[in-house]
Amino acid sequence: MSVFRNEHPKRRNITKEVSNYRKHRDDLRKDYFDRCGYCNSIDTWRFVWFEIDHFVPQKYLKTIKDTDYFNLVYACRSCNNAKRAKWPSMDEKIHNVNDEGFIDPCDEEYANQFKRTDTGRILPDTRLGEWIYNELKLYKPQHEIIWKMEEMNNLIDEIEQVLDGNPNSGEDLKDKLLECYRAFRKYAQQLSEVGLQ
């Protein structure tokens, strides 16, 4: 098993007034390390468009403004579409109750709700995590595929470094190349079967 994510997103204390919450996009992207707050998919390949989610849905905002930075989450379209206005407590101050509801992705506690298999598939690790997992459809194959593609991308970087440093590196390089190409073939095939949404 692997950890759900290696680093936790952290919102800066941005209080400047903006006319539209979308103006926070660049700051959010930076604070979330280019990743969806909910599934941790990186936005590199644009298979899925990235959007801005209101953690407490706009429908339930009372004292929070829809442009308040602290309530915004950089999110992939899959997670944003799945979350929509789901908010079981219907109270902006109560994030979850009786293992139903959400945890702010910037709270380190969010990552404790899940784990990953060695191939990057997300699994719930708590009762609340199970609720979130089902509601956000974190079981969708694309979360595993994008995780694996990121790993392959890093592997290619590693191969390039080896090649640059030692053009005659032999077996070690061969093993890395084969691992990379086999993984690529497997996941490209899987991607063509499931598609992304």
If binding is defined by CB under 5 A, does position 72 make contact with Zn ion?
A: no
Nearer to Zn ion, 52 or 163 (CB): 52
Contact 35, 67 (CB under 8 A): no
Q: Which amino acid is at 159?
A: I
Please report how close the Cβ of residue 118 comes to Zn ion at its closest, in angstroms.
20
**Binding window for Zn ion (CB under 5 A); candidates: 38-46, 50-58, 127-135, 183-191:** 38-46
Closest approach of Zn ion to the CB of residue 4, in Å: 12
As measured in angstroms, the least distance from the Cβ of 177 to Zn ion is 31
Q: How far is CA 140 from CA 2, 20, 26, 96, in A?
A: 18, 31, 27, 23
* Residue 13 CB partners (closer than 8 Å, separation 6+): 70
**Rounded distance between C-alpha atoms, residue 117 and residue 123, angstroms:** 7
Q: Which of 56, 72, 73, 76 binds Zn ion (CB under 5 A)?
A: 76
Residue 111 interacts with Zn ion (CB under 5 A): yes or no: no
DSSP 24: G
Nearest approach, Cβ of residue 85 and Zn ion (Å): 17
CB under 5 A: which stretch of 11-19, 20-28, 79-87, 99-107 binds Zn ion? 79-87
Q: Which of 73, 79, 122, 149 binds Zn ion (CB under 5 A)?
A: 79
What is the footprint of Zn ion within residues 144-173 (CB under 5 A)? Answer: none
Residue 71: which residues within 8 A CB-CB, separation 6 or more?
54, 55, 56, 61, 64
The whole-angstrom separation of Cα 197 and Cα 191 is 11
Instruction: Confirm or reject binding of residue 39 to Zn ion (CB under 5 A).
Output: yes
Taking CB under 5 A as the binding criterion, the range among 30-38, 52-60, 148-156, 181-189 that sits at the site for Zn ion is 30-38
Judged by CB under 5 A, the number of residues near Zn ion is 5
Contact 62, 89 (CB under 8 A): no
Q: Give the whole-angstrom CA distance, residue 88 versus residue 162.
A: 51
Instruction: Rule CB under 5 A: say whether 36 interacts with Zn ion.
Output: yes
Binding site for Zn ion (CB under 5 A): 36, 38-39, 76, 79
